[in-house]
C-alpha cells in the first residue's frame, strides 16, 4: 500500500485552498494525507491555516494540515503541488493597463492577452522559475497543478523549459461559466455537457447536450441565449455577456467566457467611445481601488469571511458541480480509474485538427494510464482558429523571450499582438514595462 499522499498548496492565501480542502474530506485516496500550506505572507497563511483546519475537522478522513513560509520545506516529498501564485496582483495590473493606454493601446482587461497579458506572463514566468527549479530538486516526480494566470503562457513555459515536470493547467472558465449559464437558462448546474476547445479564457463551443442524452441541443441553446436578458443587459455582480453574444452572431460559434476574458484576445472590441453606453468601466481604476483592500477575489473574500461582492450566481457556491478539478485528477491517477474533464490545459496532441500538436490548448481531457490525454474535437472554423493560432504563437515567443532574457523577441511579440498598431507603440510599451518591472523580470539583465 502506498504511503499517505502529501499535497502541497503554494499560494495558500489565495482562497482556492478552501475548494481544495473540501475535496479531501471523504475520498479514501486522501485518507491520512498531509495537506501542506505554503504562502510567503505569514498573515494570509495563518488565515488559511485556521479556515482549512476548521473544514478538515468535518470530514471522515484524518487530514494532517502543515504550514510553512519556506518553499523548499513545503515541497519536500510532495506528490502533488497545487499552485495559485501572484505577486502584487492588483497594483501591477494597474500598470499593465495604464502603460499601454499611455501610448494609445486600450485594454479593458490585460490578464491573459494584449500587452498587459504578455507582461503579466513574463512576471509570472520569472516567479515560477524558482518553484520549478525547486521542484526539480526536491520533488521531481510530483505533479504540478496550476491555477495561476496567464494559464496558457505559463503552461507553455512549463512544457518547453521544464519538460520533466508533469504539469496541468486548471481553470473554471468552461466548467464554472456553464454552471452559471445553466442556472441563467433555467437548468441545474451540470445539466449541460459541453464539447469545446480553444485558448484558455476563450474556448469555442463545438457541441452541447443535456447530460445523459445522446442528442445535441445546440439549436435549443442558441435560441435561449439569444432571447435571454442575461446576454442583453447588465446586472449587478453578474458577468456581462453582451459582447459574447455579439461575437457569437458575427462568427457563428459561441465563445465560452464572459466578455472581460474573451476580449483580451480580440482587438475588435467596441470602440473606446462606445464603452460607456455598454456600462464598461475603467478597469485600471477598479484595480486601483481593489489594491487598497485586503480581500480582492471572491475566493479570498470567502477565505477571510467577507462577502462584499456576493453574486447571485452560482445560487449555491457549495453545489458539488462547482468543485475544482485537481482532486478528481489525483483520484483518477492514484486509482487508475478513467475520468473525463471538459476542459484542461495540456498539449493539443490532435484535439484540434488545424492547430499544431505541440501548443497548449484548453481542451477536453481523459485521465487514464498515468497521464491526462487530449480528446479529439475537430477543426475550428477560420476565424476562431486564427484568433487561437495567433495567441499560441505569441505564448511560445514570450516563453522563449523570458527564458533567454531576449529584448528583441519580446518586442517582436508586442508588435504581433493584435492590440498593438505600430512598432513605436511596441517599443514604448516594452521600454516602460522593462523599467518599471526590472526587479521582477529576473532573466533580463
**In three state form, how does the secondary structure of 206-250 look?**
EEEEECCCCCECHHHHHHHHHHCHHHCCCCCCCCCCHHHHHHHHH
- Please give the tally of structural domains in the chain: 1
- Evaluate whether residue 103 is within a structural domain: yes
- Evaluate whether residue 55 is within a structural domain: no
Residues 415 and 437: their CA atoms lie apart, in Å, by: 20
Place of cell 467611445: 273
pLDDT in tens, 231-283: 999 888 888 899 999 999 999 999 998 888 999 999 999 999 999 888 888 88
Give the DSSP H or E segment for 263.
none
- Evaluate whether residue 18 is within a structural domain: no
- Evaluate whether residue 40 is within a structural domain: no
Give residue 304's pLDDT.
55
pLDDT in tens, 366-411: 999 999 999 999 999 999 999 999 999 999 999 999 999 999 999 9
- Evaluate whether residue 29 is within a structural domain: no
Give residue 259's pLDDT.
87
Give residue 409's pLDDT.
98
Successive 10-residue mean pLDDT values, the chain, 445 residues: 90 90 96 97 94 96 97 98 95 96 95 97 98 98 98 98 98 93 94 97 97 93 96 89 96 92 94 88 86 60 57 88 94 96 98 98 97 98 98 98 98 98 98 98 96
Residues 209 and 269: their CA atoms lie apart, in Å, by: 30
- DSSP summary character for residue 378: B
CATH of the domain at 442: 3.90.1820.10
Find out whether 5 and 34 touch, Cβ atoms under 8 Å: yes
Residues 239 and 257: their CA atoms lie apart, in Å, by: 9
Cα–Cα distances (Å) from 190 to 183, 186, 203, 242, 364, in that order, read: 9, 12, 18, 23, 16
Count of residues making up the chain: 445
pTM of the model: 0.96
- Evaluate whether residue 132 is within a structural domain: yes
Residues 146 and 187: their CA atoms lie apart, in Å, by: 30
C-alpha triplet 360, 413, 390: angle, nearest 5°: 45
Give residue 310's pLDDT.
72
CA-CA-CA-CA torsion sign (29, 59, 12, 262): positive
- Evaluate whether residue 36 is within a structural domain: no
Give residue 94's pLDDT.
95
Give residue 437's pLDDT.
98
| Helix (H/G/I), strand (E/B), else coil: 376 | coil
- Evaluate whether residue 61 is within a structural domain: no
For residue 238, the enclosing domain spans 79-445
Give the DSSP H or E segment for 197.
strand 192-199
CB within 8 Å of 373: residues ≥ 6 apart? 346, 349, 365, 366, 367
Residues 314 and 300: their CA atoms lie apart, in Å, by: 16
Find out whether 85 and 128 touch, Cβ atoms under 8 Å: yes
Strand partners, 95: none
Amino acid at each position: 500500500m502506498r504511503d499517505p499522499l502529501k499535497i502541497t498548496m503554494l499560494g495558500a492565501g489565495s482562497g482556492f485552498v478552501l475548494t481544495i480542502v473540501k475535496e479531501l474530506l471523504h475520498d479514501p485516496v486522501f485518507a491520512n494525507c498531509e495537506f501542506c500550506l505554503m504562502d510567503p505572507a505569514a498573515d494570509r497563511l495563518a488565515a488559511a491555516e485556521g479556515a482549512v483546519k476548521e473544514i478538515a475537522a468535518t470530514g471522515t478522513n484524518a487530514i494532517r494540515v502543515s504550514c510553512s513560509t519556506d518553499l523548499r520545506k513545503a515541497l519536500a516529498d510532495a506528490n502533488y503541488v497545487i499552485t495559485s501564485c501572484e505577486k502584487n496582483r492588483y497594483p501591477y495590473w494597474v500598470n499593465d493597463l495604464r502603460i499601454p493606454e499611455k501610448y494609445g493601446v486600450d485594454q479593458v482587461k490585460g490578464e491573459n492577452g494584449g500587452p498587459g497579458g504578455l507582461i503579466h506572463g513574463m512576471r509570472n514566468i520569472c516567479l515560477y522559475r524558482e518553484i520549478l527549479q525547486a521542484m526539480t530538486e526536491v520533488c521531481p516526480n510530483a505533479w504540478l497543478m496550476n491555477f495561476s494566470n496567464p494559464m496558457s503562457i505559463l503552461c507553455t513555459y512549463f512544457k518547453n523549459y521544464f519538460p520533466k515536470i508533469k504539469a496541468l493547467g486548471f481553470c473554471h472558465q468552461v466548467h464554472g461559466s456553464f454552471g452559471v449559464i445553466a442556472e441563467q437558462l433555467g437548468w441545474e448546474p451540470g445539466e449541460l455537457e459541453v464539447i469545446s476547445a480553444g485558448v484558455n479564457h476563450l474556448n469555442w463551443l463545438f457541441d452541447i447536450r443535456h447530460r445523459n442524452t445522446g442528442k445535441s441541443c445546440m439549436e435549443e441553446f442558441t435560441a435561449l441565449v439569444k432571447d435571454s436578458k442575461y446576454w442583453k443587459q447588465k446586472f449587478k455582480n453578474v458577468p456581462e455577456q453582451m459582447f459574447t453574444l455579439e461575437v457569437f452572431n458575427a462568427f457563428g460559434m459561441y465563445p465560452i467566457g464572459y466578455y472581460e476574458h474573451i476580449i483580451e484576445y480580440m482587438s475588435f472590441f467596441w470602440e473606446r467611445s462606445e464603452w460607456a453606453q455598454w456600462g464598461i468601466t475603467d478597469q485600471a481604476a477598479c484595480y486601483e481601488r481593489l489594491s487598497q483592500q485586503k480581500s480582492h477575489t471572491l475566493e479570498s473574500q470567502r477565505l477571510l469571511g467577507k462577502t462584499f461582492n456576493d453574486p447571485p450566481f452560482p445560487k449555491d457556491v457549495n453545489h458539488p458541480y462547482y468543485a475544482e478539478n485537481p482532486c478528481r485528477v489525483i483520484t483518477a491517477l492514484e486509482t487508475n480509474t478513467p475520468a473525463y474533464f471538459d476542459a484542461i490545459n495540456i498539449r493539443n496532441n490532435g484535439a484540434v485538427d488545424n492547430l499544431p500538436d505541440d501548443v497548449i490548448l484548453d481542451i477536453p481531457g481523459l485521465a487514464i494510464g498515468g497521464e491526462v490525454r487530449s480528446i479529439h474535437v475537430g477543426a475550428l472554423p477560420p476565424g476562431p482558429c486564427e484568433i487561437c493560432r495567433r495567441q499560441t504563437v505569441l505564448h511560445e515567443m514570450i516563453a522563449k523571450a523570458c527564458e533567454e532574457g531576449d529584448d528583441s523577441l519580446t518586442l517582436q511579440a508586442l508588435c504581433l499582438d493584435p492590440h498593438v498598431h505600430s512598432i513605436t507603440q511596441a517599443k514604448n510599451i516594452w521600454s516602460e514595462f522593462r523599467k518599471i518591472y526590472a526587479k521582477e523580470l529576473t532573466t533580463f539583465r
